[in-house]
Structure 1
Amino acid sequence: MHTVIVYESMYGNTREIAEAIAEGVHQADPGAAVDCLPAAEADAGLTRSADLLVVGGPTHMHGMSSGLSRRMAATAEKHKEGREEAAAEARTTAEGPGLRSWFHDLPKTEPGTHAAAFDTRVDMPRAGGAANGIAHRLSGHHYDVVVEPEGFIVEDNDGPLRAGELDRARAWGAGLI
Protein backbone atom coordinates (compact mmCIF):
# COMPACT_ATOMS: atom_id res chain seq x y z
CA MET A 1 0.00 0.00 0.00
CA HIS A 2 1.22 3.49 -0.88
CA THR A 3 0.03 6.39 1.26
CA VAL A 4 0.77 9.99 0.34
CA ILE A 5 0.30 12.64 3.02
CA VAL A 6 0.24 16.21 1.72
CA TYR A 7 0.14 19.13 4.13
CA GLU A 8 0.42 22.86 4.44
CA SER A 9 1.98 24.12 7.67
CA MET A 10 2.67 27.63 8.88
CA TYR A 11 4.09 27.10 12.38
CA GLY A 12 5.07 23.44 12.30
CA ASN A 13 1.96 22.10 14.05
CA THR A 14 0.29 20.70 10.93
CA ARG A 15 3.62 19.22 9.79
CA GLU A 16 3.98 17.48 13.17
CA ILE A 17 0.46 16.07 12.86
CA ALA A 18 1.18 14.88 9.30
CA GLU A 19 4.37 13.15 10.46
CA ALA A 20 2.49 11.51 13.35
CA ILE A 21 -0.16 10.25 10.90
CA ALA A 22 2.65 8.78 8.78
CA GLU A 23 4.00 7.03 11.89
CA GLY A 24 0.54 5.62 12.57
CA VAL A 25 0.28 4.27 9.02
CA HIS A 26 3.67 2.58 9.48
CA GLN A 27 2.59 1.12 12.83
CA ALA A 28 -0.53 -0.38 11.25
CA ASP A 29 1.28 -1.59 8.11
CA PRO A 30 5.08 -1.77 8.55
CA GLY A 31 5.47 -2.59 4.86
CA ALA A 32 3.55 0.45 3.66
CA ALA A 33 5.27 3.03 1.50
CA VAL A 34 4.52 6.44 2.97
CA ASP A 35 5.42 9.82 1.50
CA CYS A 36 4.79 12.81 3.77
CA LEU A 37 5.51 16.16 2.18
CA PRO A 38 4.44 19.79 1.93
CA ALA A 39 2.01 20.80 -0.81
CA ALA A 40 4.78 22.65 -2.66
CA GLU A 41 6.59 19.31 -3.19
CA ALA A 42 3.58 17.08 -3.97
CA ASP A 43 3.30 16.68 -7.72
CA ALA A 44 0.59 14.98 -9.75
CA GLY A 45 2.69 11.88 -10.44
CA LEU A 46 3.15 11.20 -6.75
CA THR A 47 -0.49 11.71 -5.88
CA ARG A 48 -1.58 9.48 -8.78
CA SER A 49 0.51 6.63 -7.38
CA ALA A 50 -1.26 6.75 -4.00
CA ASP A 51 -3.68 4.10 -2.79
CA LEU A 52 -4.56 6.55 -0.01
CA LEU A 53 -4.16 10.31 -0.21
CA VAL A 54 -4.28 12.18 3.12
CA VAL A 55 -4.41 15.98 2.94
CA GLY A 56 -4.24 18.47 5.79
CA GLY A 57 -3.75 22.12 6.55
CA PRO A 58 -4.14 24.79 9.19
CA THR A 59 -7.41 26.55 9.84
CA HIS A 60 -7.29 30.25 8.96
CA MET A 61 -10.31 32.51 9.30
CA HIS A 62 -12.72 29.58 9.84
CA GLY A 63 -11.52 27.48 6.86
CA MET A 64 -8.67 26.68 4.52
CA SER A 65 -5.83 29.16 4.34
CA SER A 66 -5.54 31.66 1.50
CA GLY A 67 -2.61 33.60 0.13
CA LEU A 68 -3.66 36.57 2.23
CA SER A 69 -4.06 34.59 5.47
CA ARG A 70 -0.66 32.91 4.94
CA ARG A 71 1.05 36.28 4.43
CA MET A 72 -0.68 37.68 7.53
CA ALA A 73 0.45 34.69 9.60
CA ALA A 74 4.05 34.97 8.37
CA THR A 75 4.12 38.69 9.17
CA ALA A 76 2.79 38.11 12.69
CA GLU A 77 5.24 35.26 13.33
CA LYS A 78 8.36 37.24 12.40
CA HIS A 79 7.69 39.67 15.26
CA LYS A 80 7.74 36.98 17.99
CA GLU A 81 10.87 36.41 20.04
CA GLY A 82 12.36 32.91 20.16
CA ARG A 83 10.28 31.61 17.24
CA GLU A 84 12.90 31.78 14.47
CA GLU A 85 12.23 28.22 13.20
CA ALA A 86 8.46 28.76 13.10
CA ALA A 87 8.96 32.14 11.41
CA ALA A 88 11.12 30.52 8.72
CA GLU A 89 8.51 27.81 8.09
CA ALA A 90 5.74 30.42 7.99
CA ARG A 91 7.69 32.55 5.51
CA THR A 92 8.41 29.56 3.24
CA THR A 93 4.77 28.45 3.31
CA ALA A 94 3.49 31.98 2.69
CA GLU A 95 5.71 32.35 -0.37
CA GLY A 96 4.77 28.96 -1.85
CA PRO A 97 1.53 27.50 -3.12
CA GLY A 98 -1.05 26.71 -0.48
CA LEU A 99 -3.53 23.87 -0.55
CA ARG A 100 -6.07 25.92 -2.50
CA SER A 101 -3.71 26.32 -5.46
CA TRP A 102 -2.40 22.77 -5.02
CA PHE A 103 -5.96 21.51 -5.49
CA HIS A 104 -6.19 23.41 -8.80
CA ASP A 105 -3.33 21.25 -10.12
CA LEU A 106 -4.54 17.98 -8.57
CA PRO A 107 -5.80 15.74 -11.37
CA LYS A 108 -9.15 14.04 -11.01
CA THR A 109 -8.82 10.37 -10.15
CA GLU A 110 -10.80 7.25 -10.80
CA PRO A 111 -13.55 6.48 -8.27
CA GLY A 112 -12.28 4.03 -5.70
CA THR A 113 -9.15 5.97 -4.81
CA HIS A 114 -9.27 6.56 -1.06
CA ALA A 115 -8.59 9.83 0.71
CA ALA A 116 -8.82 11.48 4.13
CA ALA A 117 -8.70 15.08 5.34
CA PHE A 118 -7.42 16.71 8.53
CA ASP A 119 -6.64 20.13 9.90
CA THR A 120 -5.17 21.90 12.89
CA ARG A 121 -7.42 24.37 14.71
CA VAL A 122 -7.96 26.17 17.97
CA ASP A 123 -10.61 24.86 20.35
CA MET A 124 -12.92 27.86 20.46
CA PRO A 125 -16.59 28.33 19.63
CA ARG A 126 -17.10 29.18 15.96
CA ALA A 127 -13.39 28.75 15.19
CA GLY A 128 -14.23 26.62 12.15
CA GLY A 129 -11.94 24.15 10.50
CA ALA A 130 -10.20 23.52 7.19
CA ALA A 131 -10.78 19.74 7.06
CA ASN A 132 -14.33 19.91 5.70
CA GLY A 133 -13.21 22.13 2.81
CA ILE A 134 -10.30 19.80 2.11
CA ALA A 135 -12.62 16.77 2.09
CA HIS A 136 -15.03 18.60 -0.22
CA ARG A 137 -12.23 19.34 -2.69
CA LEU A 138 -11.01 15.74 -2.53
CA SER A 139 -14.53 14.53 -3.33
CA GLY A 140 -14.68 17.02 -6.20
CA HIS A 141 -11.60 15.34 -7.66
CA HIS A 142 -13.40 11.95 -7.42
CA TYR A 143 -11.54 10.70 -4.35
CA ASP A 144 -13.56 8.53 -1.97
CA VAL A 145 -13.19 10.17 1.45
CA VAL A 146 -13.13 7.11 3.72
CA VAL A 147 -13.42 8.77 7.16
CA GLU A 148 -14.95 11.91 8.58
CA PRO A 149 -12.58 14.90 8.38
CA GLU A 150 -10.53 15.22 11.57
CA GLY A 151 -9.38 18.30 13.48
CA PHE A 152 -6.35 18.36 15.77
CA ILE A 153 -6.16 21.04 18.42
CA VAL A 154 -3.51 23.71 18.93
CA GLU A 155 -3.45 25.66 22.19
CA ASP A 156 -3.11 29.08 20.57
CA ASN A 157 -3.27 30.35 17.00
CA ASP A 158 0.35 29.35 16.46
CA GLY A 159 0.56 26.39 18.87
CA PRO A 160 1.80 24.40 20.54
CA LEU A 161 -0.29 21.31 19.92
CA ARG A 162 -2.54 20.29 22.78
CA ALA A 163 -1.08 17.48 24.89
CA GLY A 164 -2.00 14.09 23.43
CA GLU A 165 -2.74 15.32 19.90
CA LEU A 166 0.31 13.61 18.38
CA ASP A 167 -0.78 10.29 19.92
CA ARG A 168 -4.29 10.88 18.62
CA ALA A 169 -2.89 11.61 15.14
CA ARG A 170 -0.86 8.37 15.20
CA ALA A 171 -3.99 6.42 16.16
CA TRP A 172 -6.02 8.18 13.46
CA GLY A 173 -3.33 7.35 10.88
CA ALA A 174 -3.26 3.71 11.95
CA GLY A 175 -7.06 3.61 11.68
CA LEU A 176 -6.89 4.69 8.04
CA ILE A 177 -5.25 1.38 7.10
Structure 2
Amino acid sequence: MQAVIVYESVYDNTRRIAEAIAAGIHEASPDAQVSCLPVAEATSDATRSADLLVVGGPTHMHGMSSGLSRRLAHGTQERRTARKTEDPAAGAGPDGSPGLRAWFHGLPDTASGTHAAAFDTRADFRMSGGAAYGIARRLARHHYDVLAEPEGFIVEEAEGPLRAGELDRARTWGAALV
Protein backbone atom coordinates (compact mmCIF):
# COMPACT_ATOMS: atom_id res chain seq x y z
CA MET A 1 0.00 0.00 0.00
CA GLN A 2 1.12 3.52 -0.76
CA ALA A 3 -0.19 6.30 1.46
CA VAL A 4 0.38 10.00 0.87
CA ILE A 5 -0.38 12.59 3.53
CA VAL A 6 -0.62 16.18 2.31
CA TYR A 7 -0.84 18.99 4.83
CA GLU A 8 -0.85 22.75 5.15
CA SER A 9 0.62 24.10 8.38
CA VAL A 10 1.40 27.58 9.64
CA TYR A 11 2.40 27.01 13.28
CA ASP A 12 3.62 23.38 12.88
CA ASN A 13 0.63 21.90 14.71
CA THR A 14 -0.90 20.43 11.54
CA ARG A 15 2.51 19.15 10.44
CA ARG A 16 2.94 17.34 13.74
CA ILE A 17 -0.52 15.77 13.42
CA ALA A 18 0.26 14.69 9.82
CA GLU A 19 3.49 13.03 10.97
CA ALA A 20 1.64 11.23 13.78
CA ILE A 21 -0.95 9.97 11.26
CA ALA A 22 1.90 8.74 9.05
CA ALA A 23 3.40 6.90 12.03
CA GLY A 24 0.02 5.30 12.77
CA ILE A 25 -0.37 4.11 9.19
CA HIS A 26 3.14 2.68 9.24
CA GLU A 27 2.53 0.95 12.58
CA ALA A 28 -0.67 -0.66 11.27
CA SER A 29 0.90 -1.63 7.95
CA PRO A 30 4.70 -1.89 8.29
CA ASP A 31 5.11 -2.63 4.58
CA ALA A 32 3.25 0.52 3.56
CA GLN A 33 5.12 3.27 1.80
CA VAL A 34 4.08 6.44 3.58
CA SER A 35 4.94 9.94 2.37
CA CYS A 36 4.15 13.01 4.44
CA LEU A 37 4.32 16.13 2.26
CA PRO A 38 3.69 19.82 2.82
CA VAL A 39 1.20 21.15 0.28
CA ALA A 40 3.96 23.00 -1.61
CA GLU A 41 5.69 19.66 -2.35
CA ALA A 42 2.57 17.61 -3.10
CA THR A 43 2.60 17.39 -6.88
CA SER A 44 -0.02 15.49 -8.83
CA ASP A 45 2.66 12.87 -9.58
CA ALA A 46 3.17 12.37 -5.84
CA THR A 47 -0.54 11.80 -5.22
CA ARG A 48 -1.45 9.92 -8.39
CA SER A 49 -0.05 6.57 -7.26
CA ALA A 50 -1.51 6.70 -3.75
CA ASP A 51 -3.87 4.00 -2.57
CA LEU A 52 -4.72 6.27 0.36
CA LEU A 53 -4.59 10.06 0.25
CA VAL A 54 -4.92 11.84 3.59
CA VAL A 55 -5.25 15.64 3.45
CA GLY A 56 -5.25 18.08 6.34
CA GLY A 57 -4.97 21.73 7.19
CA PRO A 58 -5.58 24.28 9.88
CA THR A 59 -9.00 25.74 10.53
CA HIS A 60 -9.04 29.44 9.72
CA MET A 61 -12.19 31.54 10.06
CA HIS A 62 -14.41 28.47 10.60
CA GLY A 63 -13.15 26.52 7.54
CA MET A 64 -10.27 25.90 5.18
CA SER A 65 -7.58 28.52 5.01
CA SER A 66 -7.77 31.19 2.32
CA GLY A 67 -5.25 33.60 0.92
CA LEU A 68 -6.42 36.23 3.40
CA SER A 69 -6.37 33.95 6.43
CA ARG A 70 -2.88 32.67 5.53
CA ARG A 71 -1.59 36.23 5.18
CA LEU A 72 -3.07 37.08 8.58
CA ALA A 73 -1.59 33.94 10.14
CA HIS A 74 1.82 34.55 8.53
CA GLY A 75 1.72 38.10 9.85
CA THR A 76 1.14 36.79 13.36
CA GLN A 77 3.94 34.24 12.90
CA GLU A 78 6.29 36.94 11.60
CA ARG A 79 5.54 39.22 14.54
CA ARG A 80 6.14 36.34 16.96
CA THR A 81 9.42 35.41 15.23
CA ALA A 82 10.57 39.02 15.16
CA ARG A 83 9.86 39.38 18.90
CA LYS A 84 11.81 36.20 19.68
CA THR A 85 14.81 37.18 17.59
CA GLU A 86 14.48 40.93 18.16
CA ASP A 87 15.05 41.27 14.42
CA PRO A 88 12.24 43.35 12.89
CA ALA A 89 12.98 41.92 9.42
CA ALA A 90 12.66 38.29 10.54
CA GLY A 91 10.20 36.35 8.41
CA ALA A 92 9.37 39.35 6.23
CA GLY A 93 6.51 38.37 3.92
CA PRO A 94 4.45 35.18 3.62
CA ASP A 95 6.38 32.21 2.31
CA GLY A 96 4.33 32.17 -0.87
CA SER A 97 3.47 28.47 -0.61
CA PRO A 98 0.05 27.49 -1.92
CA GLY A 99 -2.78 26.68 0.39
CA LEU A 100 -5.02 23.65 0.15
CA ARG A 101 -7.73 25.53 -1.75
CA ALA A 102 -5.32 26.30 -4.60
CA TRP A 103 -3.77 22.83 -4.40
CA PHE A 104 -7.15 21.18 -4.92
CA HIS A 105 -7.53 23.02 -8.25
CA GLY A 106 -4.56 21.03 -9.59
CA LEU A 107 -5.49 17.70 -8.03
CA PRO A 108 -6.44 15.29 -10.82
CA ASP A 109 -9.57 13.20 -10.53
CA THR A 110 -8.92 9.63 -9.53
CA ALA A 111 -10.46 6.31 -10.41
CA SER A 112 -13.17 5.08 -8.11
CA GLY A 113 -11.77 2.92 -5.34
CA THR A 114 -8.95 5.24 -4.29
CA HIS A 115 -9.39 5.94 -0.61
CA ALA A 116 -8.98 9.26 1.14
CA ALA A 117 -9.45 10.88 4.52
CA ALA A 118 -9.53 14.47 5.79
CA PHE A 119 -8.35 16.08 9.02
CA ASP A 120 -7.75 19.49 10.48
CA THR A 121 -6.42 21.26 13.51
CA ARG A 122 -8.88 23.51 15.31
CA ALA A 123 -9.61 25.33 18.52
CA ASP A 124 -12.01 23.73 20.97
CA PHE A 125 -14.70 26.33 21.37
CA ARG A 126 -18.28 26.56 20.29
CA MET A 127 -18.73 27.37 16.62
CA SER A 128 -15.01 27.16 15.82
CA GLY A 129 -15.83 25.26 12.65
CA GLY A 130 -13.46 22.89 10.96
CA ALA A 131 -11.48 22.68 7.73
CA ALA A 132 -11.78 18.87 7.48
CA TYR A 133 -15.35 19.02 6.20
CA GLY A 134 -14.40 21.19 3.22
CA ILE A 135 -11.35 19.03 2.56
CA ALA A 136 -13.52 15.87 2.52
CA ARG A 137 -16.00 17.49 0.11
CA ARG A 138 -13.20 18.44 -2.27
CA LEU A 139 -11.74 14.93 -2.11
CA ALA A 140 -15.15 13.48 -2.98
CA ARG A 141 -15.47 15.91 -5.92
CA HIS A 142 -12.22 14.45 -7.27
CA HIS A 143 -13.80 10.96 -7.00
CA TYR A 144 -11.90 9.79 -3.93
CA ASP A 145 -13.79 7.41 -1.65
CA VAL A 146 -13.66 9.18 1.70
CA LEU A 147 -13.44 6.26 4.10
CA ALA A 148 -13.69 8.01 7.47
CA GLU A 149 -15.56 10.91 8.99
CA PRO A 150 -13.46 14.10 8.83
CA GLU A 151 -11.42 14.37 12.02
CA GLY A 152 -10.44 17.46 14.01
CA PHE A 153 -7.43 17.62 16.32
CA ILE A 154 -7.44 20.26 19.02
CA VAL A 155 -4.98 23.09 19.58
CA GLU A 156 -5.14 25.00 22.86
CA GLU A 157 -4.78 28.41 21.21
CA ALA A 158 -4.54 29.62 17.61
CA GLU A 159 -0.79 29.10 17.55
CA GLY A 160 -0.84 25.95 19.69
CA PRO A 161 0.27 23.96 21.46
CA LEU A 162 -1.63 20.82 20.61
CA ARG A 163 -3.85 19.56 23.40
CA ALA A 164 -2.24 16.77 25.41
CA GLY A 165 -2.95 13.38 23.87
CA GLU A 166 -3.74 14.66 20.36
CA LEU A 167 -0.60 13.15 18.79
CA ASP A 168 -1.52 9.75 20.23
CA ARG A 169 -5.07 10.18 18.97
CA ALA A 170 -3.72 11.07 15.50
CA ARG A 171 -1.56 7.92 15.47
CA THR A 172 -4.56 5.82 16.41
CA TRP A 173 -6.72 7.50 13.75
CA GLY A 174 -4.03 6.94 11.13
CA ALA A 175 -3.76 3.26 12.02
CA ALA A 176 -7.55 2.89 11.74
CA LEU A 177 -7.43 4.20 8.15
CA VAL A 178 -5.50 1.15 6.96
Counterpart residue number, 2:29:
29
Report the Cα distance in structure 2 between the residues aligned to 1:25 and 1:77, rounded to whole angstroms: 31
Counterpart residue number, 1:65:
65
Q: Does 1:116 align with 2:111?
A: no
Report the Cα distance in structure 2 between the residues aligned to 1:127 and 1:83, rounded to whole angstroms: 32
Q: Which amino acid is 2:43 matched to?
A: D
Residue pair 1:77, 1:83 contacting (<8 A) in 2 also: no
Report the Cα distance in structure 2 between the residues aligned to 1:154 and 1:131, rounded to whole angstroms: 14
With the length of structure 1 as denominator, give the TM-score of the two structures: 0.94
Q: Where do 1:20-169 residues align within 5 Å?
A: 20-80=20-80, 81-82=83-84, 91-92=94-95, 95-169=96-170
Identity across matched positions, percent: 67
Post-superposition offset of 1:91: 3.8
Secondary structure at 1:54 match in 2: strand
Post-superposition offset of 1:82: 3.5
Listed as ranges, the gaps of 5+ residues in structure 1 are none
Root mean square deviation, CA, Å: 1.6
Report the Cα distance in structure 2 between the residues aligned to 1:46 and 1:53, rounded to whole angstroms: 10
Distance 1:83 1:103, change over 3 A: farther
Distance 1:141 1:83, change over 3 A: farther
**Runs of 4+ residues over 3 Å off in structure 1:** 81-84
The CA deviation string for residues 99-145 of structure 1, in whole angstroms up to 9 with x for no partner, is 00000000001111000000000000000000000000000000000
Residue pair 1:8, 1:99 contacting (<8 A) in 2 also: yes
Larger of the two Rg values belongs to structure? 2
Counterpart residue number, 2:17:
17
Post-superposition offset of 1:18: 0.1
Aligned length: 172
Q: Which amino acid is 1:111 matched to?
A: S
Residue pair 1:14, 1:56 contacting (<8 A) in 2 also: yes
Q: Which amino acid is 1:78 matched to?
A: E
Secondary structure at 1:82 match in 2: helix
Post-superposition offset of 1:83: 8.4
Q: Which amino acid is 1:103 matched to?
A: F
